[in-house]
Structure 1
Amino acid sequence: MSPRGHAPANSPTLTPSGASPAEPAPAPAGSGAPKVVAEGVPSVLRSDPHGDDGRQPVAWLRITAPGRGVTPSARSWCACGRDLFAAGQARALALIADHEQHRELCPHITPQEGRKAA
């Protein structure tokens, strides 16, 4: 130790004697069992309220319209391999309409059984 009563900056930190921080805290007097979780915290896993219902995303449409003076754009992609991009207001609007039509026709999205052939 230095003459001022604290360890120099490049020496290892001294550990205090006593319980290690990794050990559970002692239980209140008389219970004997170590405290594992804080009061009010469930210790049993509950079912996920947002659980998997079997649905998965198949087609995506991303529209970017940042504001005045900046060119809007749209991107449409699907699990079937579709990946289209359009820049400019007229082209982005056309791609949005095309994406909606694709969602009605794509076999990855709409099952073909029971549908009339076009």
Structure 2
Amino acid sequence: MNTPLHPPLEGQQTATTGPQDAEQATPEQAVGEPKGVAEGVPTAVLPDPHRGDGRYPVAWLHIVAPRGAVPTATSKCLCGRDRSAIGHGKVHALIADHEAHRDTCPLRTPQEGRTAA
């Protein structure tokens, strides 16, 4: 005997004989235009404000001269030059040598008559 003893209550559905698929929810309509990124973020690619002008450092002169102490200096270049000096006279000589190296550095001067590697 498969008939229920009591009639179904108001709002209840009668039982079915087998499994059924669940009802698919309908997607809600979006209001406005679709957004690619968060609000306030520009979507256009802007030019980089930190772009260089094509120049880059080749040589560095680092001088340390604390008050009342012995000064030191180092001169380095991408061509392989690496020199240092300790003391007032030697530091002044290294500064002059570093300035003179600008004219003779193979990275800064065009090498005429030779094939650059």
Shorter chain as denominator, the TM-score bin is 0.5 to 0.7
Question: Could you tell me which residue of structure 1 aligns to residue 14 of structure 2?
Answer: none
Q: Aligned-pair distance for 1:87?
A: 1.3
Q: What is the TM-score normalised by the length of structure 2?
A: 0.59
Contact 1:63 1:75 in 2 (8 A): yes
2:78 pairs with 1:54: no
Which protein has the larger Cα radius of gyration, Structure 1 or Structure 2? 2
Q: 1:1-118 to 2 correspondence within 5 Å? A: 30-31=31-32, 33-34=34-35, 36-39=37-40, 41-66=41-66, 68-113=67-112
Which of 81-90 and 55-64 deviates more?
55-64
Percent sequence identity over aligned pairs: 55
Unpaired segments ≥5 residues, structure 1: 1-28
TM-score by length of 1: 0.58
Total equivalences in the alignment: 84
- Whole-Å Cα distance in 1 between the matches of residues 33 and 109 of structure 2? 61
* Stretches (4+) displaced over 2 A: 29-39, 41-45, 52-56
CA RMSD of aligned residues (A): 2.4
Distance 2:54 2:33 in 1: 46
